[in-house]
Structure 1
Amino acid sequence: MAARAEEPINEQAVANVYSSMRSEITQIYSKITELEMEVSEHSLVINAIQPLDPARRCYRMIGGVLVERTIKEVLPAVQRNKEGIEEVIARLNEALEKKKKEISDFEAKYKIRIRKPDEVKEEGARKEGSAQGVLVGPAGSNE
């Protein structure tokens, strides 16, 4: 959805497009968080095996299969994986910034304003306060 061929026709269409843009941002955030957790795990593994003897045996999970290797073989692979994940995170951050700019332009174009929960409560309280009615008990309670 980089370039939108059609402009939204009505309020509901604008709301739908805006909602999908917000969900895309949420998905990017969650993917970045997931990958940052993986980088953290890779760092833990690297820090744990780096000081050990390079000829020492270690095990690595490859495609669901546990294989026996040496630290000398595994350490560079884990470091490469970590660097690759960090590059993906950088690209996702760039995409996130583009998407944020796109959504902010969309908000400006359609004058979209996000209400905070306390604004909604205040508005509801104003409506309740402005309705001046009489409270009466249940019918037939004069007996």
Structure 2
Amino acid sequence: MAGKVEGDGKEPINEQAVANIYGAIRSEINQIYSKITELEMEVSEHSLVINAIQPLDPSRRCYRMIGGVLVERTIKEVLPAVQRNKEGLEEVIARLNEALEKKKKELVALHREFL
């Protein structure tokens, strides 16, 4: 049958299936890019907050939104939590960048295999 790949133990693949797989991978790559951009904006916001409250008196009142509730704390209590959150976001961004590279390699491999 024309247009099908055989002999590798997988289902035969036609042009439409390859196009669907290619489109799905492109879609996943775009979703990862969007999530990375969103998280980078959050890291930027965290950095702004850290830079704004760091030079202030640690016993000064500070308000923080936790789960939709505004709570009163001190800068001494809030600053470490904001820094931890920022570090966590940076770790997630690093993992997403790794996943993005894997998807790009997968896309290149698919491109090489079927062109």
- Shared fold (TM-score, shorter chain, > 0.5): yes
CA RMSD of aligned residues (A): 1.3
CA distance in 1, matches of 2:22, 2:12: 10
| Equivalent position of 1:85 in the other structure | 89
Of the two structures, which has the highest relative contact order with CA contacts closer than 8 Å and spacing of 6 or more? 2
Instruction: Identify, as 1 or 2, the structure richer in helix.
Output: 2
The alignment's TM-score, normalised by the length of structure 1, stands at: 0.72
Q: Give the TM-score of the pair, scaled to structure 2.
A: 0.90
Which amino acid in 2 is paired with 1:110?
Answer: F
**Which one has the largest radius of gyration?**
1
Map Cα deviations across residues 94-113 of structure 1 (whole Å, 9 max, x no partner): 111111001000000011xx
How many residues in Structure 1 have an aligned counterpart in Structure 2? 107
Cα distance in 2, alignment partners of residues 57 and 82 from structure 1: 21
CA contact (8 A) 1:8 1:14 kept: no
Q: Which runs of 4+ in 1 moved over 4 A?
A: 5-8
Q: Using a 3 Å threshold, how does the CA distance of structure 1 residues 8 and 31 change in structure 2: closer, same or farther?
A: farther
Look up the equivalent residue of 2:29 and give its one-letter code.
I
Q: Give the partner amino acid of 2:73.
A: R
Q: Percent identity?
A: 83
Structure 1: 5+ residue stretches without partners: 112-143
Gaps of 5+ in 2: 1-8
Deviations 1:19-60 (A, max 9, x none): 000000000000000000000000000000000000000100
1:54 aligns with 2:58: yes
